[in-house]
Structure 1
Amino acid sequence: MNKRYSLHHIHSADEFTFSPEEYSYFKYGDKTYAEKFAKELFDGFISQHAGLLDGEKEIVVLPSPYMAIPTASNFLCFYFKKHLDFYLFKKGRKSSTLSKINRNHTYTTDYGNLSFEDRKNLISNDTYYLDKDFLRGKLCIFIDDIKITGSHEYTVNKILEQYNVEGEFLFMYYAELMNFDLDPKIENFFNYYAVKSVEHIAEVMIKPGFQFNTRIVKYILGLESGKFEYLSSKVTKEQMDLLLELAISNNYHLIKEYENNINTLTQTELYYGY
């Protein structure tokens, strides 16, 4: 059984019920907005659909699929779980469990620029894994930040069918595009609303609530050398060390477009004697 809930509905290209600026910072690693959005999402959901959590069925929450580097939605999911667990605690219920859909490939393409068919074709080349036995019979809440074309939901449903998972499935979004006359590229309008340049990236990275996610790692690794050097001069060595660690963990060192900047990071490590 599939259900869907979204907090904000996008009907227009210029009027929104959430802040595009906050959303942009969220997408590039500012966890303070992940926490803010998660509380808003949870409160909105409970105010309308608390009955869906009734009963004794175990609850599992899952962010959008990723390999080693979490997506922005992973942090939204983490904070949503915090509010959900406190709600369940007050009901005398068992807390929810955080799970994951693993993916085996990555790509450099900017997802926000693609149509539904292009997105579907891109992710169809990927392979995914989930623990079907663990999910079976539970209420599974799949959390993503925004629904534009539905390709994420399509992919998750395809995975669930492939693994023959039986349970209750709830797809939850902070925002959802309702007017399909709007170009799907509106997603990148939100993504880049406040973060448009390497200078903005540097500003985000020095915020106390910053944490790397897939989007910002790919952005940095794809920078031309001059801009990469600029960013390196504005942030800490510890952050650049972590960037290299994350890049390797996600196999970005095998992607030609990222070779130069990863080599630069590697040379820095060698210089400091690692």
Structure 2
Amino acid sequence: MNHTYSLHKITDKNDCPFSEAEYSRFKFGENAYAEKFADELFEGFIAQHKDLILSYNDIVILPSPYHAIPTASNFLCHYFKLRVNHFLYQNGRKALSESKIYRNQTYTTDYGNLDYAERVRLIGNDTYYIDRNYIGNKLCLLLDDIKITGSHEHIVKKILAQYDVQGTFMFLYYAELQNKDIHPNIENYYNYFYVKDVYSLMEVMASRSFGFNTRIVKYILKLDENDFSLLLSSMKKKMRKQLFALAVSNNYHTIDEYKTNLDHINNSLTNKITSTYGYQFTERPA
């Protein structure tokens, strides 16, 4: 049985029901907004579905599919889980279990500009794995930040059917595009509303709540020479180490489009280098 809940309904492209600037900063790793959005999502969701939550003893929460680098929605899921667990504690119930849908991504295209058919075709080439025995016959909360065309939900439902997973599945979203006359590329309008260039990106990365996610890692690895060198020189060694490790964990070193910048990050981890881009890098403290 499938259910869907979304907090915000997008019906007018000129009247966004949430802060576009906050959403953009969230999508690029400013996780104070992940916590804020999770609190809002919990309050709206529990007001409508309290009885459903309390009718199940075994509940599993799953963020949107990813391989090794978490998505922005994974951080949203983390804070949402904390709120639901506190609610379950107050009602004398077991805490949520957590699982994930493993995903091996095969593309570098930003699908925020694509329509439904293009998105399904693109993400349908990825490979997915889910632990059917772990989540079967339970209430599964499948959480994502936004539903634009429903392509990801379509893929997840296809995976559940492929693995013959039985249970109750609740698809939760912070926001949902309900006016189908609005082109799906409004997603990229939201994604890049605040983060429009390397300077706004550096501001987000300077936040105390910043954390790398899939979007920002790919964005950095695709930066042009000048923007990349500026960003890299602003990053402490500890952050560059983390960025490099995450990129390799997702096998981005095997993708030609990412390899040049990733190699320069690796080279920058020595004390002082002159890169093939021509700039000299002096180590900042970790």
TM over 0.5: yes
For 2:272 and 2:58, the matched residues in 1 are separated by 49
Paired residue type of 1:184: P
Question: Shift in Å at residue 177 of structure 1?
Answer: 0.3
Look up the match of 2:224: 224
State whether residues 56 and 93 of structure 1, in contact with CA within 8 Å, keep that contact through their aligned partners in structure 2.
no
State whether residues 205 and 235 of structure 1, in contact with CA within 8 Å, keep that contact through their aligned partners in structure 2.
no
For 1:106 and 1:38, the matched residues in 2 are separated by 29
Q: Does 2:105 correspond to 1:105?
A: yes
Q: Which moved more, 1:56-65 or 1:26-35?
A: 56-65
Unaligned runs of at least 5 residues, structure 2: 274-286
Look up the match of 2:260: 260
Look up the match of 2:43: 43
Question: Shift in Å at residue 172 of structure 1?
Answer: 0.3
For 1:226 and 1:194, the matched residues in 2 are separated by 20
Question: Shift in Å at residue 105 of structure 1?
Answer: 2.5
Question: Shift in Å at residue 235 of structure 1?
Answer: 2.3
Question: Shift in Å at residue 263 of structure 1?
Answer: 1.1
CA RMSD of aligned residues (A): 1.2
Q: Which moved more, 1:263-272 or 1:226-235?
A: 263-272
State whether residues 56 and 139 of structure 2, in contact with CA within 8 Å, keep that contact through their aligned partners in structure 1.
no
Paired residue type of 1:222: K
Look up the match of 1:214: 214
In the TM superposition, what whole-angstrom CA distance separates every residue of 1:164-185 from its partner, at most 9, and x where no partner exists? 0000000000000010000000
Aligned length: 273
State whether residues 140 and 169 of structure 2, in contact with CA within 8 Å, keep that contact through their aligned partners in structure 1.
yes
Look up the match of 1:77: 77
State the TM-score, normalizing by the size of structure 1: 0.97
Question: Shift in Å at residue 265 of structure 1?
Answer: 1.1
Unaligned runs of at least 5 residues, structure 1: none
Paired residue type of 2:248: I
State whether residues 106 and 125 of structure 2, in contact with CA within 8 Å, keep that contact through their aligned partners in structure 1.
no
What's the secondary structure of 2:232's corresponding residue? helix
In the TM superposition, what whole-angstrom CA distance separates every residue of 1:137-188 from its partner, at most 9, and x where no partner exists? 1000000000000001001000000000000000000000010000000000
For 2:199 and 2:94, the matched residues in 1 are separated by 45
State the TM-score, normalizing by the size of structure 2: 0.93
Q: Which runs of 4+ in 1 moved over 4 A?
A: 270-273
Question: Shift in Å at residue 269 of structure 1?
Answer: 2.6
Identity %: 54
Question: Shift in Å at residue 259 of structure 1?
Answer: 1.3
